[in-house]
Amino acid sequence: MSVSPVAPREPGDAYGRVAELHAIRERARGGTGRRATEAQHAKGKLTARERIELLLDAGSFHEVEQLRRHRATGFGLEAKRPYTDGVITGWGAVEGRTVFVYAHDFRIFGGALGEAHATKIHKVMDLALAAGAPLVSLNDGAGARIQEGVSALAGYGGIFQRHAKASGIIPQISVMLGPCAGGAAYSPALTDFVFMVRDTSQMFITGPDVVKAVTGEEISHNGLGGADVHAEASGVCHFAYDDEETCLAEVRYLLSLLPRNSQENPPADDSEDPAGRRCDALLDLVPANGRLPYDMRAVIEEIVDDGEYLEVHERWATNVLCCLARLGGRTVGVIANQPQFLAGVLDARASEKAARFVQMCDAFNIPLVTLVDVPGFLPGVDQEHGGIIRHGAKLLYAYCNATVPRISLVLRKAYGGAYIVMDSRSIGADLTYAWPTNEIAVMGAEGAAGVIFRKQIAEAADPEAMRVRMVEEYKSALMHPYYAAERGLVDDVIDPAATREVLIRSLAMLCTKRAELPPRKHGNPPL
């Protein structure tokens, strides 16, 4: 069978046009060329497209407005009109679920934001909200494009407005992979989670040069706004990692624990960890003596599925732990006092950290499990002047306002106002359990006895012996493990080894919980 020869194609016919399209797309994907890519790699940074490939499932990315170019003139801009305008936008999948993404391309205008650049981001943010899917921003830009003036600033305003509109509706995750200065830093601050990479990413409102000019202080970029600073000192950063590959892998893991939007539940996972597994190790992990410290992380690891959890704000306000994990295959948010640091007391930072986490979990239908071992609020002039009342009220408000399933478990101490704030029965916990080692009281026995029996102790022939006797009397009357249970403030006192099974069964019962808040425009929480 003979085959007719293919006739030559004219440049203007359909085949020629398609060839032209492919050539343009290839230019757009290449950015500004090999040298710019090599310069990016020389800084230890991946390109925007390499980052997207790591974040999303292979072959799932669909780019939007790849051929967009700016229309600005002046300062030589009319001669530089690269495709994408320095930001790559679109959608793909993470473990098969839709995720929207935009990534600054530092090779083009240093990733600086101009009018066209901003419009592309607005487009993908609107699509994410309309589709009800998470939004991930891969940030590596030099801020507003100075040559475009106020048009660039207006572009940031549109981004901020959309972040606020989407808040609590879809998960928003910011991944800091380069510099983020000035007003641009408010974009990640408005999102649910901020990831940073050490040495290559920084965030600050005014850079080191401005700080030196105004205050005389000399400081490096990382010293002012690096990953460790924001992970430990400011609390701006939720997660910090040594390299981009690990960082993006953890973003994928976080997304696997979250629902696509506030109208859905987080995805369930078929865990092979038996729901009825006994946790006998807990009897050794937690000393009965309330004065002895221990690592609450070990308790969480023993209870949750396969011992896996993702700790949020791991290095900030370390006296309270906030973790995402699974129990019986269901995502849960765990809030726990950490006796290893400051004896697990609540202070201003810990209250703020936990309040934010509770609000996030409630927004995205993640049940709350609270592990309580708290001796109270941290006393001191600094705490009072720093607004401990206001910050403690944030946590109280967050719990009271939460409508997701809520279970609290008192392991040892639960004293004073801190007991109430840590999701006690009186502020709406659905179920409250306690271990036989629990001590729920207004304050510790020593302090209480010193107040109640002050006169008797002072007048006794042997004040110290009288004090010891009064402490024991107070403990036996008001602080025995079953006092709260007898009054219905604790639903049950449980064997610590049965903790995992009790929590999983309770969460299964509460999974159909429906609760509504009173009609209102919005609440007015303490700030």
Please identify every residue annotated as catalytic: 182-183, 417-418
DSSP three-state, residue 346? strand
Cα 281 to Cα 497: distance, rounded to the nearest angstrom: 7
CA dist., res. 244 & res. 225, Å (int) = 18
Report helix, strand or coil for 323.
Answer: strand
Instruction: Label each residue of 59-124 as H, E or C.
Output: CCCEEECCCCCCCCCCCCHHHCCCHHHHEEEEEEEECCEEEEEEEECCCCHHHCECHHHHHHHHHH
Calpha distance 367→51 (Å, rounded): 32
**Do the Cβ atoms of 207 and 297 come closer than 8 Å?**
no
Residue 37 near residue 107, CB atoms below 8 Å: yes
Angle between helices 296-303 and 499-510 (to 10 degrees): 60
Q: Mention every residue, 6+ apart, whose C-beta is less than 8 A from residue 440.
A: 410, 414, 415, 419, 434, 479, 483, 484, 489, 490
Q: What is the 8-class DSSP label of residue 278?
A: -
Sheet holding 239-241, edge to edge: 62-64, 87-94, 97-104, 135-139, 172-176, 193-197, 239-241
Helices 48-55, 244-257: crossing angle, 10 deg rounding: 40
Determine the Cα–Cα distance for residues 512 and 527; give it in Å rounded to an integer: 32
Residue with tokens 């999983």: 504
CA–CA separation, 109 and 85 (whole Å): 8
Contact residues for 273 (Cβ-Cβ < 8 A; gap 6+) = 305, 306
- Count of C-beta atoms within a 10 Å radius of residue 165: 12
CB 323 within 8 A of CB 300: yes
Q: Cα separation of 322 and 308, whole Å?
A: 13
3-class DSSP state of 302: helix
Smallest Cα–Cα separation from 413: which of 331, 470, 345?
Answer: 345
